[in-house]
Structure 1
Amino acid sequence: MFSEKDFERLWFLYKAEGEPNGVSINSFCIGNNIPYTAFYDWFKKTQKKSRQLDEMIARLDEIGKDLKESNRKIDSLTNALLKANSKVEKAAIEYKLRDKEYKKLEKKYNALLERLSTTE
């Protein structure tokens, strides 16, 4: 019985030594005393998992891109909202200042009217 590690080592060695020298995987398995059919079964199962993993990674990449785009939109909207809020706050402050000035002028006007009415 061969373990997962045995097959992984064989595959690594094959990629490093066998394939570059033109040795078939079947011959490489025989040369390393591992039945090709056992290796092939392991390889099919591993490749299926690998494909599923690749698909999941691709989907996660898409989700990541979508999130980045959403974050950019949120940042843009947040900045626009902050600018709008600062304009509203600025307008409110200007209004308060003008209102204060108006009230001061109104007091002066009323005081002046009162003085004028008492002098008549």
Structure 2
Amino acid sequence: MYSSEDLERFYFQYQSEALPHGESLQSFCVKHKVPYNIFQKWFKDTRKKVVEVEVEGIPVTDSAEVSKTISQAQRVSRSSSDTPVRIWIDIRISNGLHLSQKNLSYPDLVRIVKKLEGLC
């Protein structure tokens, strides 16, 4: 039986290895002995849960990092209201764990990600 994690890894492998060469998903499934109907059902059930995220720029925390950040990253244009950005995350894991945090600052988000990395 294939777990959701197995199928997710398989889909990532397909996107990185076969898709750039124009290979169909069905032929990739056959080549790797993964039943296409199982993969298709998993993909249909999960594709709307995956959201593409684009990050622009890096938040600056102290004056020593300002010079490094300006040389390394593009400047981010600020909106007319210079209110700080608050972050809301909602993570659902295939084992049933649901993590939801609202009103996070960037340092709070970094702290949560570091804790989650420790679990992996």
Q: TM-score range by the shorter chain?
A: 0.3 to 0.5
**Structure whose residues are more often strand by fraction:** 2
Q: Could you state the TM-score of these two structures normalised by the residue count of structure 1?
A: 0.42
**TM-score, structure 2 as length reference:** 0.42
Q: In proportion to residue count, which structure has more helix?
A: 1
